Amino acid sequence: MGIIEKMRLDGKKGFVTGAARGIGKCTATAFAEAGADVAIVDLDIEVAQQTAKEIAEATGRKVIAIKCDVTSEEDVQSMVDTVVKELGGLDFCHANAGICINAPADQMTYQQWLKNMDVNINSVFLTDTIAGRYMLAHGGGSIINTASMSGHIVNVPQPQCAYNASKAAVMQLTKSLAVEWAKRNVRVNSISPGYIGTELVLAAPHLKALIDQWNAMAPMGRLGKPEELESICVYLAGDTASFTTGSDFVIDGAFTCF
């Protein structure tokens, strides 16, 4: 069997949070293209259902949509239970849901701080530990968290201290869980994308000036594409990554190299 065949995900079951659109939609599509059955998890159930339909029709895999508030322990537990019941198991997950609140620290409200932390780190803890319990009890699995290059650097010119702190926390949570579960066959890794040109980012008028500044600073002179995150996630979800755990993969076009 060649390396391409070894990297396929045939027979595996998983879910992606924040998967109705953007990065999550792309990675969910890639998982299905590699042979996995996938759940599209999102608060926006109408868009999630359309995304699930599109991926199922394009790949022939079983793809379902689940509405879930990832900051709710009850919702996340129910979502994982549904994935196991509807797909027949859980081999991998991608905790991808997140938000970014841009506000100067001296003007940011405590409620803004708490909302950012609730979605970006508390939800990852809930997703990882609830999915992890199932994996630990059923022979193992792979967990992928979306961190950010913002956990490595302080972005400019936009002020986003809460986002930066939350993404650094995601990386440390990833490493901590990886060490705890290393001997129990549950691998935990994170990806740290740079600036990615999702549909929402490219369509936002208020971001155009920022995008021009980011591109001027970027060694490659452009934003990344969501599709450029797919291959690393397929690798991490599969068996060829059996010795890869506790790692953070920076995919940023060399933005953090200086």
Average pLDDT in the chain: 96
Residue 196 pLDDT > 90, yes or no? yes
Residue 202 pLDDT > 90, yes or no? no
Residue 253: closest CA among 210, 227, 220, 213: 220
Question: What is the model's pLDDT at position 100?
Answer: 93
Q: What's the mean pLDDT in 23-40?
A: 98
In a domain, 258, yes or no: no
Residue 248 pLDDT > 90, yes or no? yes
Question: What is the model's pLDDT at position 1?
Answer: 78
Q: How far is CA 82 from the centre of its chain?
A: 19
Distance CA 101, CA 124 (A): 17
Residue 9: closest CA among 233, 246, 245, 247: 233
Distance CA 204, CA 234 (A): 29
Structure confidence by residue, pLDDT tens digits, 122-181: 999 999 999 999 999 999 999 999 999 999 999 999 999 999 999 999 999 999 999 999
In a domain, 98, yes or no: yes
Question: What is the model's pLDDT at position 201?
Answer: 85
Q: What's the mean pLDDT in 3-17?
A: 95
Active site residues: 148, 163, 167
In a domain, 143, yes or no: yes
pTM of the model: 0.97
Domain that holds residue 236: 3-252
In a domain, 186, yes or no: yes
Q: Looking at residue 14, which CATH number applies to its domain?
A: 3.40.50.720
Q: Which two tokens stand for residue 210?
A: 């920022």
- Count: domains in the chain: 1
HEC profile of the chain: CCHHHHCCCCCCEEEEECCCCHHHHHHHHHHHHCCCEEEEEECCHHHHHHHHHHHHHHHCCCEEEEECCCCCHHHHHHHHHHHHHHHCCCCEEEECCCCCCCCCCCCCCHHHHHHHHHHHHHHHHHHHHHHHHHHHHCCCEEEEEECCHHHCCCCCCCCCHHHHHHHHHHHHHHHHHHHHHHHHCEEEEEEEECCECCHHHHHCHHHHHHHHHHHHHCCCCCCECHHHHHHHHHHHHCHHHCCCCCCEEEECCCHHHC
In a domain, 257, yes or no: no
Q: What's the mean pLDDT in 29-52?
A: 98
Structure confidence by residue, pLDDT tens digits, 209-241: 899 999 999 999 999 999 999 999 999 999 999
Structure confidence by residue, pLDDT tens digits, 88-130: 999 999 999 999 999 999 999 999 999 999 999 999 999 999 9
In a domain, 24, yes or no: yes
Determine contact, residues 36/60, Cβ cutoff 8 Å. no
Residue 34 pLDDT > 90, yes or no? yes
